[in-house]
Amino acid sequence: MKKIQSTCNYCAIDCNLDFYVEDNKIVKTVPTKGYPVNDGFSCIKGLSLSKQQTTVKPNSLPKIRQKDGSFKEVSWDEAFTHVASELNRIQAEYGTESVAGISTGQLTLEEFAIFGHVMRNYLQTNVDGNTRLCMATAVVAHKQSYGFDAPGYTLKDLELSDTLIFIGSNPVVAHPIVWGRVRQNQVPGHKIIVIDPRKSETAMNADYHYELKPRTDLLLLYTVAHLLIENDYLDHDFIREHTEHFDEFKDFVKTYTLERAVDGTGLSKEQILELVELIHHGKRVSFWWTMGVNQGYEAVRTAQAIINLALMTGNIGKPGTGANSITGQCNAMGSRSFSNTSVFFGGGDFTNPARRKRISEVLGVPDEMLAKKPTATYNQIIEGINEGRIKGLWILCTNPRHSWTNNETFARAAKKLELFVVQDIYDTIESAEDCTVFFPVVPGIKKEGTYINLERRLSAMRPVLKREENEISDYEAVLGVGKALGMGDALKGWETPKDCFNLMRECSRNMPCDFTGVTWEALEESHGIQWPYPEGKEENNKEEQRRLYSDGQFFTPSGKAQFVFEEVRENPYPPTEEFPYVFNTGRGSVGQWHTQSRTKEVKFVEDVSVKKAYLYMNEKLAREHDIHWMDEIRVYSVNGENAVFAVKTTDEVPYDQLYAPIHYVECNKLTPSNYDPYSKEPNYKGATVRFEKC
Ligand SMILES: Nc1nc2c(c(=O)[nH]1)N[C@H]1C(S)=C(S)[C@@H](COP(=O)(O)OP(=O)(O)OC[C@H]3O[C@@H](n4cnc5c(=O)[nH]c(N)nc54)[C@H](O)[C@@H]3O)O[C@H]1N2
Ligand SMILES: Nc1nc2c(c(=O)[nH]1)N[C@H]1C(S)=C(S)[C@@H](COP(=O)(O)OP(=O)(O)OC[C@H]3O[C@@H](n4cnc5c(=O)[nH]c(N)nc54)[C@H](O)[C@@H]3O)O[C@H]1N2
Ligand code: SF4
Ligand SMILES: [Mo]
């Protein structure tokens, strides 16, 4: 029996697991002991990775749709030639930007890097990622406030903090290892505080739950800032030495009075004052935010309002502190700096001449071949298809027919495409229904590459199982199309994932995410390595759990963090007589993963999962409408669509909200085409609806 250590490719924790293999079958999966992230623990999804060995069809070949609508299986070479010639044809006929890609935060660093090289550099077109649906808000907030997209914390901070504040974050369900680390917190009297408009599983386990009205976080956070200032609960030295624009911020928050916040958030005066005191009395206060913050119409400013609280109280860069964005997908952190979508590989602007020169040298291609501007955003790509400007789309490792906001707009778009390549490990996903080409690729357990987790830790994915005939990886599929496009020397140095890793490593040199001290081999069987880890400075970075900003230095030109703020906006979808209920959406259970393509295969999960779309409704509201457990209702959304859901009644969701798990395609039928103005992340948790009993 062989033991192979690899990385779980579901959530952003990136647990490491030891796979025991016999006759090319996984016989046992054991969470890696001593691994600094999950140390011998994991959740059901990681433990069930082995289940995918039987469900992905062996020996499958790519398929091309024929004129009569049927599919024909072809060789990989034929498929590569077909896709390359269609990409060329469409660009020649309709213009360079008439083809686009949608990438992901769930592939390896090397896979989305090569996709970025082929599409963004060589074809000079647009590729956005499903990370737009998830982390874009945190990225923009970090860049503006810190000067680089660099979350500073390490998971150890969860154990060292005496005041942990979770805002729009439900780790009990979504990040079980984060919650496990909270449970290991030994600081006497430590307090867990949750800000969430419903009693989430995390709120149920917290010491304090502030059940504010949906979408009123920014108002609350500015008010808290105002009260901290009024009471002089500030770290003046930190503000003076390490931040800019505090005085303007101080003036700005003056109008955010307690009365205004009580009225807007629905919290009581006492609750808001209590929260202010909790922050003040904490010696090590940490703020943790996830999708309740990122997915909103004023999301970037809300994330920055959290950062502002940490800055003004000096709760940053020290053990157990920080304004900490929790990442969603296994390699969302990697995709943010290495997918070539909104920044160059390793970070830096497409318009910076020095950065262009450096990247062109490392990649060995002329400057003209490098991407010239950040990508068109996800919503612009879908709109572009629906408006007839984009005719070709290639998606990999994401299922937008289900997950995209107002998802009927994607369904319409898919039907308009002349070329629609879907690259996935299942041909049964909703997005594949209208594809013109399907690329079946192997799952994580059969491939190699690098992941970066939520605390900037690189870890190695290594093949656990050998591949069968015709089985290829995402990397090889993209490389195959690149070669068929005639990229020639532009693919020199990209031959294998390891070669690509070395290119990316060079691209990171002297950037905040510098990992030039990490080698492909050193990552294997390792404890993972957090960036930064520059070559020649390995000695300084020996500690296994490191945080950024301990010297108070940020990545802005002045080295100081920025207070960024703006007046609260009007809610685009306030509850009205016609649409009185807020349609809140999010994760349903620890076992279910997004669009369920993968976790449907796991018997332990499937056996306890509801088979049809459902939502949670307050008991009193249900009684008033004579609705009983699992009765069906039709829900009408402000976006003009409607869908049927079964009802689970509960007191954990307030009277004026419905909570729908995202694991059913009906959920995003009802979410709006509405985005944060800066990050363009969808306002997924803010639609309003009405309903009637079926
Ligand atoms: N089991 C499982 N785990 C997962 C995933 C999965 O699909 N399944 N997905 C992974 C991914 S990619 C991500 S991004 C993360 C997401 O992780 P989380 O963001 O923690 O999960 P969500 O359920 O989307 O949303 C968190 C909370 O936001 C709250 N919320 C809604 N509106 C508001 C508001 O206006 N203000 C505040 N303060 N809160 C609000 C919701 O009630 C919900 O409890 O989970 C990751 N982990
Ligand atoms: N209403 C609402 N909608 C949301 C959210 C919300 O909170 N509310 N959350 C949003 C967030 S945060 C996210 S991250 C998105 C997630 O949305 P998606 O990315 O669309 O969801 P997944 O189901 O993770 O899709 C991943 C796909 O990759 C495939 N896959 C798995 N492994 C591999 C592989 O190795 N190679 C390839 N090529 N394919 C593979 C899977 O079969 C699956 O089809 O959903 C977003 N949608
Ligand atoms: S899904 Fe997340 S918490 Fe669960 S095993 Fe995988 S990495 Fe760990
Ligand atoms: Mo996500």
Closest-CA residue, ligand 3 atom 8, reads 15
pLDDT at 547 over 60: yes
pLDDT at 280 over 90: yes
Pocket test for ligand 2, best of 103, 173, 403, 471 (most atoms within 8 A of CB): 403
Q: pLDDT value at position 154?
A: 98
pLDDT at 140 over 80: yes
Closest ligand relative to 6 C-alpha: 3
Residue 159 CB contacts under 8 Å (≥ 6 apart), including other chains: 181, 182, 184, 185, 186, 187, 320
Q: pLDDT value at position 600?
A: 83
Q: Is the dihedral of CA 216, 217, 218, 224 positive or negative?
A: positive
pLDDT at 53 over 80: no
Tell me how far the alpha carbon of residue 644 lies from the centroid of ligand 4, in angstroms: 25
Instruction: Tell me which residue has tokens 């969302």.
Output: 332
Tell me how far the alpha carbon of residue 229 lies from the centroid of ligand 3, in angstroms: 40
Which of 55-59, 75-79, 362-366, 423-427 has the weakest average pLDDT? 55-59
Residue 255 CB contacts under 8 Å (≥ 6 apart), including other chains: none
Query: φ and ψ at 598, to 5 degrees?
Result: -85, -45
Tell me how far the alpha carbon of residue 378 lies from the centroid of ligand 4, in angstroms: 14
Closest ligand relative to 291 C-alpha: 1
CB-CB contact of 26 with 47 (8 Å):
no
**Nearest Cα to 225, choosing from 158, 136, 116, 306?**
306
Average pLDDT, the chain: 97
59 confidence band (pLDDT: 50, 70, 90): confident
Bridge partners for 561 per DSSP = 243
Tell me how far the alpha carbon of residue 326 lies from the centroid of ligand 4, in angstroms: 10
- In ligand 2, the atom with minimum distance to the C-alpha of 671 is 1
Q: pLDDT value at position 56?
A: 55
Pocket test for ligand 3, best of 7, 14, 15, 39 (most atoms within 8 A of CB): 15
pLDDT average, residue stretch 462-489:
96
pLDDT average, residue stretch 475-487:
98
For ligand 3, which residues put their CB under 6 angstroms from it?
Answer: 8, 10-11, 13-15, 38, 42-43, 45-46, 176-177
Closest-CA residue, ligand 3 atom 6, reads 46
**pLDDT cut 70: percent of the chain above it:** 99
CA distances from 458 to 151, 320, 450 (A): 14, 22, 7
Pocket test for ligand 1, best of 398, 453, 685, 688 (most atoms within 8 A of CB): 685
DSSP assignment letter at 535: T
Closest ligand relative to 48 C-alpha: 3
pLDDT average, residue stretch 604-632:
94
Instruction: Report the distance separating Cα 163 and Cα 158, nearest Å.
Output: 9
Closest-CA residue, ligand 2 atom 24, reads 594
**Nearest Cα to 466, choosing from 4, 119, 130, 45?**
4
Q: pLDDT value at position 60?
A: 85
Instruction: Report the distance separating Cα 385 and Cα 405, nearest Å.
Output: 15
Q: pLDDT value at position 102?
A: 98
What is the model's pTM? 0.98
pLDDT at 434 over 70: yes
Tell me how far the alpha carbon of residue 352 lies from the centroid of ligand 4, in angstroms: 30
Pocket test for ligand 3, best of 17, 45, 170, 587 (most atoms within 8 A of CB): 45
Tell me the two tokens of residue 598.
């993968």
What number of residues does the chain have?
A: 694
Instruction: Tell me which residue has tokens 């690729």.
Output: 441
For ligand 2, which residues put their CB under 6 angstroms from it?
Answer: 104, 106, 130, 133-134, 291, 295, 328-329, 396-400, 402-403, 423-426, 429, 441, 443-444, 474, 585-586, 593-595, 597-598, 662, 667-668, 671, 684
Q: pLDDT value at position 58?
A: 67
Closest ligand relative to 130 C-alpha: 2
Instruction: Report the distance separating Cα 55 and Cα 596, nearest Å.
Output: 14
52 confidence band (pLDDT: 50, 70, 90): low
Instruction: Report the distance separating Cα 405 and Cα 674, nearest Å.
Output: 8
Closest-CA residue, ligand 2 atom 27, reads 398
Q: pLDDT value at position 208?
A: 98
Q: pLDDT value at position 50?
A: 86
CA distances from 581 to 93, 533, 653 (A): 47, 49, 11
CB-CB contact of 451 with 501 (8 Å):
no
Tell me how far the alpha carbon of residue 278 lies from the centroid of ligand 2, in angstroms: 37
CB-CB contact of 456 with 513 (8 Å):
yes
Task: Label residues 241-275 b or e (16+ Cβ within 10 Å = b).
Answer: ebbbebeebbebbeebebeebbebbbbeeebbeeb
Tell me the two tokens of residue 480.
């195959």
Tell me how far the alpha carbon of residue 398 lies from the centroid of ligand 2, in angstroms: 5
Instruction: Report the distance separating Cα 291 and Cα 587, nearest Å.
Output: 10
- In ligand 1, the atom with minimum distance to the C-alpha of 294 is 19
pLDDT at 422 over 80: yes
Closest ligand relative to 104 C-alpha: 2
Q: Please give the order of strands across the beta sheet that includes 437-440.
A: 71-73, 63-65, 437-440, 419-424, 392-396, 99-103, 126-129
Tell me how far the alpha carbon of residue 435 lies from the centroid of ligand 1, in angstroms: 30
Q: pLDDT value at position 608?
A: 84
pLDDT average, residue stretch 433-461:
97
Bigger pLDDT: 610 vs 4: 4
For ligand 1, which residues put their CB under 6 angstroms from it?
Answer: 11, 134, 167-170, 173-175, 195-198, 200, 214-215, 217, 290-292, 328-329, 584, 586-587, 590, 592-594, 685
Pocket test for ligand 1, best of 405, 587, 653 (most atoms within 8 A of CB): 587
Instruction: Report the distance separating Cα 546 and Cα 527, nearest Å.
Output: 13
Residue range 142-182, pLDDT digits in tens:
999 999 999 999 999 999 999 999 999 999 999 999 999 99
Closest-CA residue, ligand 1 atom 17, reads 174
- In ligand 1, the atom with minimum distance to the C-alpha of 591 is 1
Tell me how far the alpha carbon of residue 591 lies from the centroid of ligand 3, in angstroms: 10
CB-CB contact of 546 with 154 (8 Å):
yes
**Nearest Cα to 533, choosing from 515, 508, 551, 555?**
515
Burial class (CB in 10 A: 0-12, 13-18, 19+), 526: middle
Tell me how far the alpha carbon of residue 10 lies from the centroid of ligand 3, in angstroms: 6
- In ligand 3, the atom with minimum distance to the C-alpha of 176 is 3
Q: pLDDT value at position 55?
A: 54
Instruction: Report the distance separating Cα 17 and Cα 418, nearest Å.
Output: 42
- In ligand 3, the atom with minimum distance to the C-alpha of 8 is 6
Residue range 220-270, pLDDT digits in tens:
999 999 999 999 999 999 999 999 999 999 999 999 999 999 999 999 999
Tell me how far the alpha carbon of residue 531 lies from the centroid of ligand 3, in angstroms: 21
Which amino acid belongs to residue 493?
Answer: G
Q: Is the dihedral of CA 45, 48, 51, 56 positive or negative?
A: positive
Closest ligand relative to 303 C-alpha: 1
Query: φ and ψ at 56, to 5 degrees?
Result: -85, 125
The DSSP bridge pattern shows strands 687-693 and 632-637 to be: antiparallel
382: three-class secondary structure by DSSP:
helix
Closest ligand relative to 43 C-alpha: 3
The DSSP bridge pattern shows strands 614-618 and 657-661 to be: antiparallel
Tell me how far the alpha carbon of residue 8 lies from the centroid of ligand 3, in angstroms: 6
pLDDT at 25 over 60: yes
558 confidence band (pLDDT: 50, 70, 90): very high
Q: Determine how many CB atoms are found less than 10 A away from the CB of residue 280.
A: 16
Tell me how far the alpha carbon of residue 313 lies from the centroid of ligand 3, in angstroms: 33
Closest ligand relative to 405 C-alpha: 2
Residue 240 CB contacts under 8 Å (≥ 6 apart), including other chains: none
pLDDT at 80 over 90: yes
Tell me the two tokens of residue 395.
């998606």
**pLDDT cut 90: percent of the chain above it:** 96
Closest-CA residue, ligand 2 atom 10, reads 133
Span between the terminal Cα atoms of the chain, in Å: 56
Tell me how far the alpha carbon of residue 109 lies from the centroid of ligand 3, in angstroms: 18
The number of angstroms, rounded, from the C-alpha of 297 to the middle of its chain's C-alpha atoms is 17
Closest ligand relative to 329 C-alpha: 1
Pocket test for ligand 1, best of 130, 139, 196, 664 (most atoms within 8 A of CB): 196
